[in-house]
């Protein structure tokens, strides 16, 4: 089951802004929880309601994680539909970027929401889908090899990688998330009629500038590409700068 976690702006309350002008749905990277977006509302306009998407397999209530992109995206769509009564935007980092892209496609094809309320798509640290790797991936590798590959992203804490108990809890979630990525098949569809903004890290070994610029062909509207200091997880090290760019774009909508 997918959960939508509300992060209120300007207060410590868990209640959303009473009358938000816009909702920002945030999709985390592989293995992460929605709590990575907990502080975001403090650096966004008070009229923006931040909704972190908590994917199955995380948190206190355990549901099996999804392993295929289509099933995951449909589950997310079903849960956010009641909240699409006003303009909204989507942000996704790494795996979340690709999920956000396919979520926007599904909302357009099956719910005709693109031209009414979907204002902006933000993609972070994710190569364009037409350049998605078609190799066998890593989700099926033995634990040792799988963890070696994961470590190259520089985002998984050492206490998880080196602690057997933590690994036992964390590995099934990571494997499922990478299966979503590794089995993803890109299909050609028309570009969107809303802006796309992409972000990359200057020292990201996984995603380079050319990978990011490839997103340009997926919109007929404004396209922006920003390089931030940091590695694949600049979303943590340079969060305030990232949110400045997002705030600026949302203010222009």
Name the pTM for this structure.
0.91
Which secondary-structure segment (H or E) carries 124? strand 118-124
Residues annotated as catalytic are: 94
Query: Read out DSSP for 130-174?
Result: GG---S--STTS-HHHHHHHHHTTS-S-HHHHH-HHHHHHHHHHH
Query: Is the separation of the CB atoms in 253 and 120 below 8 Å?
Result: yes
pLDDT digits (tens, 9 = 90+) for 184-207: 999 999 999 999 999 999 999 889
**pLDDT score of 88:** 95
Q: How far apart are alpha carbons 145 and 138 in whole angstroms?
A: 8
* CATH code of the domain occupying 3-132+186-252: 3.40.50.1820
Q: Which tokens is 182 given? A: 């590794």
Query: Is the separation of the CB atoms in 70 and 105 below 8 Å?
Result: no
User: What is the band of 11 on the pLDDT scale with cuts at 50, 70, 90?
Assistant: very low
**pLDDT score of 14:** 45
Q: How far apart are alpha carbons 225 and 209 in whole angstroms?
A: 9
């Amino acid at each position: 089951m997918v959960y939508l976690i509300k992060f209120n702006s300007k207060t410590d309350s868990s209640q959303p802004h009473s009358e938000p002008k816009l909702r920002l749905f945030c999709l985390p990277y592989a293995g992460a929880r929605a709590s990575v977006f907990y502080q975001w509302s403090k650096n966004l306009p008070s009229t923006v309601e931040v909704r972190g998407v908590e994917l199955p397999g995380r948190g206190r209530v355990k549901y099996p994680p999804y392993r295929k992109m289509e099933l995951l995206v449909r589950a997310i769509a079903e849960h956010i539909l009641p909240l699409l009564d006003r303009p909204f935007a989507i942000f996704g980092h790494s795996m979340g970027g690709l999920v956000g892209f396919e979520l926007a496609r599904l909302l357009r094809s099956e719910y005709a929401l693109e031209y009414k309320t979907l204002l902006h798509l933000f993609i972070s640290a994710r190569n364009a889908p037409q350049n998605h790797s078609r190799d066998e991936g890593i989700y099926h590798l033995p634990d040792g090899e799988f963890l070696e590959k994961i470590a190259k992203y520089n985002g998984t804490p050492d206490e998880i990688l080196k602690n057997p108990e933590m690994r036992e809890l964390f590995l099934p979630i990571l494997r499922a998330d990478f299966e979503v990525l590794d089995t993803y098949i890109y299909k050609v569809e028309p570009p969107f009629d809303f802006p796309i903004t992409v972000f990359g890290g200057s020292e990201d070994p996984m995603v380079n500038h050319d990978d990011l610029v490839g997103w340009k062909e997926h919109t007929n509207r404004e396209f922006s590409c920003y390089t931030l200091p940091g590695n694949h997880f600049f979303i943590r090290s340079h969060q305030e700068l990232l949110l400045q760019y997002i705030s600026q774009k949302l203010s222009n909508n």
